[in-house]
């Protein structure tokens, strides 16, 4: 490198360029702006080189990403690298160029490149760190604020900015509220709330893996832990920024009145949700039937929250019911104490049919399905004698109500129909006999033709 490009040669070249620019009236003191142009040129070359290298590395990283699908952590890391690959290559190339320039000339002549590299490094580190936050809006907010602070520090004006923000203040009695206090409060509250939510999610995942705890206890413990962590985060943030908690006494009193008058439904649903979790009358996975204004709603409990309960129906739709409904209204829980459910299917056969054979065919049809329990076995009973049929009732038990009730009944009915058709068992339909009673003369009259009526009308 020293053989072909030395610092002396570079200085001679810069001196000649300065003399030429001075002859044309374009030179400034020290020729610093020439080095600024040189750094801009180096920045452009580094950018082009980084794009070229990225175009060659991207297919390799994507191929490796497609292969590593089983290892979740490695796949997440490669996915993160693939998303930031061009920035990583650009930053690596830029620091190499800065090292070369510092070795070839004075460090001050690569100051602009150092600032750009520091800004890109800060942005890359902050963007990777903020990607760990699930809330995209919060992640962008934290990343933007953190990068602005880092940029101000890199340019050396962070202290001046802090003084300026602190001077923008208003005084409310004994309380002084400045722009710096507001920004600091928002940053600290956001970080602490994010940490509280992350800890609560981690605790809920751990609780879900404990088989000794029922689903109701898992949900209740997770909700209480989340509320407690959020309360601690807010109080800690207020204490850190220097807000006296005793000043919130008036606000807490107003909040209590608001809860008493305007938030009755919210508090009622919250208390109802806690009661449901404690008494275990309804828990995630239960199959329920509830009466609504639009009719009967059937489905299984998908999620039991603090304010509402999500019920998923067979058609795939989720209905969110306020928890208060489950306390104040009757609810049929098909799987509360015993997950076994007995179904009754009404069947009618002709009076000319072999009733005992028809009953055996019904039991055989029910025994064909794996969802129907073998113990107790299906039973078929003769219920009564109807107007046009002998009424039978097929009874059987199933153990999985979440699999559906009507779909199984439909399948059993279809199997019975096929067996009856094959064995010649007739399913009757209503018939009525009409008797005409004779007596008295039958008087028959006929209207005159329409042409004759027209002639009479004309006369």
| Residue pLDDT, tens place only, 100-124 | 877 777 666 677 788 888 888 888 8
Given this model, what pLDDT does residue 28 score? Answer: 47
What CATH number should be reported for the domain whose range is 283-333?
A: 2.30.30.60
Given this model, what pLDDT does residue 39 score? Answer: 75
* Mean pLDDT along residues 211-237: 76
Contact 389, 351 (CB under 8 A): yes
Fold of 341-423: Alpha-Beta Plaits (3.30.70)
* Mean pLDDT along residues 349-376: 87
The torsion defined by the Cα of 434, 438, 441 and 446, in degrees rounded to 10, comes to 20
For residue 324, give Cα distances in angstroms to 107, 117, 312.
Answer: 71, 58, 18
Look at the block and give the residue holding tokens 């890359």: 124
Q: E strand or H helix at 349, and its extent?
A: strand 341-349
Structure tokens at 121: 């490094």
pLDDT grade, residue 312 (50/70/90)? confident
pLDDT grade, residue 5 (50/70/90)? very low
Alpha helices in 131-286 (DSSP H): 136-155, 158-167, 179-208, 215-240, 249-261, 264-279
- Euclidean distance between CA atoms 84 and 126, whole angstroms: 12
- Euclidean distance between CA atoms 212 and 225, whole angstroms: 19
Given this model, what pLDDT does residue 21 score? Answer: 46
Query: In the chain, pLDDT over 90 holds for what percent of residues?
Result: 1
Given this model, what pLDDT does residue 242 score? Answer: 67
- Euclidean distance between CA atoms 96 and 104, whole angstroms: 12
- Euclidean distance between CA atoms 170 and 168, whole angstroms: 7
* Mean pLDDT along residues 403-420: 86
**Residue 452 in 3-state DSSP?**
helix
């Amino acid at each position: 490198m020293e053989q072909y490009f030395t610092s002396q040669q570079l200085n001679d070249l810069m001196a000649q360029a300065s003399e030429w620019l001075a002859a044309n009236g374009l030179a400034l003191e020290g020729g610093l702006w020439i080095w600024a142009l040189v750094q801009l040129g180096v920045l452009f070359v580094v950018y082009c080189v980084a794009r070229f290298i990225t175009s060659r590395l991207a297919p390799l990283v994507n191929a490796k990403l497609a292969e590593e699908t089983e290892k979740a952590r490695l796949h997440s890391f490669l996915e993160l690298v693939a998303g930031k690959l061009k920035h990583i290559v650009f930053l690596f190339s830029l620091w190499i160029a800065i090292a070369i320039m510092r070795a070839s000339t004075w460090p001050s002549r690569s100051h602009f490149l150092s600032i750009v590299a520091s800004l890109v490094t800060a942005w890359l580190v902050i963007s990777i760190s903020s990607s760990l936050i699930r809330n995209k809006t919060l992640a962008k907010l934290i990343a933007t604020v953190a990068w602005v602070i880092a940029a101000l520090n890199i340019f050396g004006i962070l202290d001046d900015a802090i003084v300026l923000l602190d001077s923008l203040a208003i005084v409310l009695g004994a309380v002084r509220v400045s722009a710096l206090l507001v920004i600091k409060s928002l940053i600290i509250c956001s970080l602490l709330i994010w940490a509280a939510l992350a800890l609560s999610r981690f605790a809920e995942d751990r609780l879900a893996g404990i088989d000794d705890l029922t689903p109701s206890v898992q949900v209740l413990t997770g909700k209480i832990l989340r509320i407690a962590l959020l309360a601690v985060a807010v109080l800690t943030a207020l204490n850190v920024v220097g807000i006296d908690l005793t000043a919130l006494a008036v606000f807490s009193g107003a909040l209590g009145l608001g809860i008493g008058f305007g938030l009755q439904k919210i508090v009622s649903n919250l208390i109802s949700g806690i009661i449901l979790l404690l008494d275990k009358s309804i828990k995630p996975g239960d199959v329920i039937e509830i009466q609504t204004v639009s009719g009967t709603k059937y489905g299984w409990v998908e999620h039991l929250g603090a304010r509402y309960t999500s019920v998923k129906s067979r058609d795939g739709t989720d209905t969110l019911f306020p928890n208060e409904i489950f306390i104040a209204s009757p609810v049929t829980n098909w799987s509360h104490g015993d997950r076994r459910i007995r179904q009754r299917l009404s069947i009618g056969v002709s009076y000319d049919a072999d009733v005992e054979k028809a009953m055996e065919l019904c039991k055989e049809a029910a025994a064909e399905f794996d969802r129907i329990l073998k113990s107790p076995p299906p039973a078929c009973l003769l219920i009564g004698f109807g107007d046009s049929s002998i009424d039978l009732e097929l009874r059987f038990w199933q153990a999985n109500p979440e699999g559906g009730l009507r779909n199984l009944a439909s399948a059993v009915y279809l199997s019975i129909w096929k067996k009856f058709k094959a064995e010649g068992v007739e399913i009757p339909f209503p018939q009525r006999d009409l008797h005409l009673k004779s007596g008295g003369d039958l008087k028959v009259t006929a209207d005159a033709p329409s042409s004759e009526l027209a002639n009479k009308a004309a006369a």
